[in-house]
Amino acid sequence: MTQQTNVPKPIPVPSHESSFYWDKCKQQELWVRKCNECDRTYFYPRDLCPNCFSRNTEWIKCSGRGILHTFGIVARPPHRGWAEDVPYVVCMVDLEEGCRMPSNLVNVEIDLSNPGKSIWVGMDVQVVWDQRGDDMVIPMFSPS
């Protein structure tokens, strides 16, 4: 069996609707969309509000703080680029600004026999940044 090393992780491809978001991530700033009709924030970046379908939306800068809503521990990588990272934590974070965002939880001890030892729903988290290649920065979260 041959060993695969240094396989790059896939990176997002910015679209017309998400390019502003990814540009701000490169500056280590987290931004989400807010609807001016129903006053809700939402993620993932798109021009149409998923709640009321209005196009009267704007970008708002986030504090980067949130609360862990849920998490899972990945033990089998979905792609060879993550083979050296397993186990790792995928999560949903409730941002202070009122929307939920999928991400990864980093800088935590992963105990597969007792995951709740160092990771728990309701823990305070803060955005941190992962540089991918030369031109992509990914927001992740770490305990506050």
Whether 9 is in a domain gets the answer no
pLDDT band at 3 (very low <50, low <70, confident <90, very high): low
- Count how many domains the chain has: 1
pLDDT digits (tens, 9 = 90+) for 95-140: 999 999 999 999 999 988 888 889 999 999 999 999 988 889 999 9
Q: What is the pLDDT of residues 34-75, one digit of tens each?
A: 999 999 999 999 999 999 999 999 999 999 999 999 999 999
31: confidence class by pLDDT, cuts 50, 70, 90? very high
Whole-number pLDDT of residue 13: 93
Evaluate whether residue 138 is within a structural domain.
yes
With the C-alpha atoms ordered 58, 61, 62, 63, is the resulting torsion angle positive or negative? Answer: negative
- Residue 7 within any structural domain of the chain: no
41 within some domain: yes
Residue 4 has pLDDT above 70, yes or no: no
Amino acid (one-letter) located at 121:
V
Q: What is the pTM of this model?
A: 0.90
d(CA 102, CA 6): 25
Residue 130 within any structural domain of the chain: yes
Residue 10 has pLDDT above 90, yes or no: no
Among 9, 21, 102, which Cα is nearest to 61's? Answer: 21
Print the domain residue range for 109: 19-143
Q: What is the pLDDT of residues 104-114, one digit of tens each?
A: 999 999 988 88
CB 122 within 8 A of CB 71: no
CA 98 to chain centre: 15
Residue 3 lies in a domain: no
